[in-house]
Amino acid sequence: MKILLLTNEYPPNIYGGAGVHVEYLSRELALLDNEAHRIEVFCFGGQDIREGNLTVKGVNAAYDFPSKDERHKKVFDTFLKDMVMAGTFDGADVVHCHTWYTHMAGLFIKKLFSIPLVLTTHSLEPQRPWKREQLGNSYNLSLWIEGEAYRAADRVIAVSGPMKEDVHRAYGVPMDKVEVIHNGIDVGEYRYRPDPDLLRRYKIDTERPFVLFVGRVTKQKGITHLVRAARLLEPGTQLVLCAGSPDSERLRILVEKEIESARKAKVDIVWIPEMVPKEDLIAIYSGAAVFVCPSIYEPFGLINLEAMACETPVVASKVGGIPEVVEDGKTGVLVPFKPVSATDPEPAKPERFARDLAYEINRLLRKPQKIVRMGAAARLRVEQHFSWRAVARKTMEVYKGVGKR
């Protein structure tokens, strides 16, 4: 088969879990069945890669759109790149889109060339209302194009059981058209590799335990709740935040103020605001006592797999697909979470959520031997259930299924 993957992110331009997913999925698909399949990737950027039967083409189209609201330009630019992707199309058996950024391209290709359309659900726009601040009223366009794509798709892949239900609820996609295929991880690459010298280069004190957060500065990841929880952590505990790419200037300022306030209260915070190279990040995961995922919305939570593969137990909010990754009491701890409403995912009681996070982190910090046991169990779970090769095989079966219709 010839498979076309459409994505905003592809190395070296990766800022979230969807980009990591496409990077590893495309490589594994290219290796299946003795490299019998041709895999082509269209992405945003200047990439031009050919590795055997895997080809990656970046789209760099740009135009200075006139707009009364500067926030609208991002969506206009997205649609321009999508039209270039559709115009570049040169045949395939299946087109597979990742995130709303490429949905217009997928729809154009499906309608123009009668090609089956597959979508992977990494997140859903209706469940991220805070993006209205980032996109202005062009957020309505992202909602619209996402809805059109889901209703037109021949098959949908959800990264977790709750995401399957969300797709059905949000867009009316029949449940039998949605296949659950979890994200994966390269267990050879992500493994326990401590490097105290590297930690010290990042200003982390290797003589004291540290709690780790990795993620973008976005409301979805719940970073402000963790910073507030840090005030209640065991004395001497460090909080390390590998957190960059803020969704908006307003959010960046808010997080800066929260961190400054916590530091004034004698909380030891190491904030690394730039993108941390993968090799460095693996060493930081390996050095952490506990990894924390305080997300208020998380379809799957690939970062939890990364931490678990490095033998670090996870304390995470009990939302979305996280319970399908983190085994409560075995590979980590799930913190109860109640949102304001179905349309507002913020915690109904934010102060209590912060207290609960701190309580569970402290319970682990007081039991170093339990941290070691949970870390070993976490690694074993990742090895047994979340390999990219398995993800690629299941995805190929979806392609073959829609190709026969």
CA–CA gap between residue 389 and residue 191 (Å, rounded): 17
Neighbouring C-beta atoms of residue 394, cutoff 10 Å: 15
pLDDT for res 41: 98
How many helices (H) and strands (E) are present in the chain, helices listed first? 14, 14
Low-confidence stretches of the chain (pLDDT < 50) are none
**The model's pTM:** 0.86
Question: What six digits make up the tokens of 285?
Answer: 């995961």
Q: What is the pLDDT of residue 88?
A: 96
Round to whole Å and give the CA distance between 197 and 204.
10
Domains and CATH numbers, the chain: 2-184+387-403 (3.40.50.2000), 196-385 (3.40.50.2000)
pLDDT value of residue 23: 95
Q: Could you tell me if 299 and 321 are in contact, meaning their C-beta atoms sit under 8 angstroms apart? A: yes
- 322-366: per-residue pLDDT in tens? 999 999 999 999 999 999 997 888 999 999 999 999 999 999 999
3: part of which helix (H) or strand (E)? strand 2-7
What pLDDT, on the 0 to 100 scale, is given for residue 404?
61
pLDDT digits 0-9 by tens, 230-263: 999 999 999 999 998 888 888 899 999 999 999 9
**Tokens, residue 152:** 């037109």
257: which 2 tokens? 């103020």
Tell me the C-alpha distance between 313 and 331, whole Å: 6
**8-state DSSP, 331:** T
Contacts of 370 (CB under 8 A, 6+ apart): 364
Q: Are strands 38-44 and 48-51 parallel, antiparallel or unpaired?
A: unpaired
What ranges in 247-301 are assigned the alpha helix state H?
Answer: 249-264, 278-287
Supply 320's token pair.
Answer: 């979305």
Quick: pLDDT tens for 272-305: 998 899 999 999 999 999 999 999 999 998 999 9
To the nearest 10 degrees (0 to 180), the angle between helices 350-365 and 368-385 is: 100
The two beta strands, 94-98 and 2-7, are: parallel
CA distances from 320 to 121, 219, 343 (A): 12, 15, 14
Helices (H), 126-277: 131-135, 139-152, 161-171, 196-201, 223-229, 249-264
Rounded Cα–Cα distance for residues 81 and 65 (Å): 13
Count of C-beta atoms within a 10 Å radius of residue 349: 12
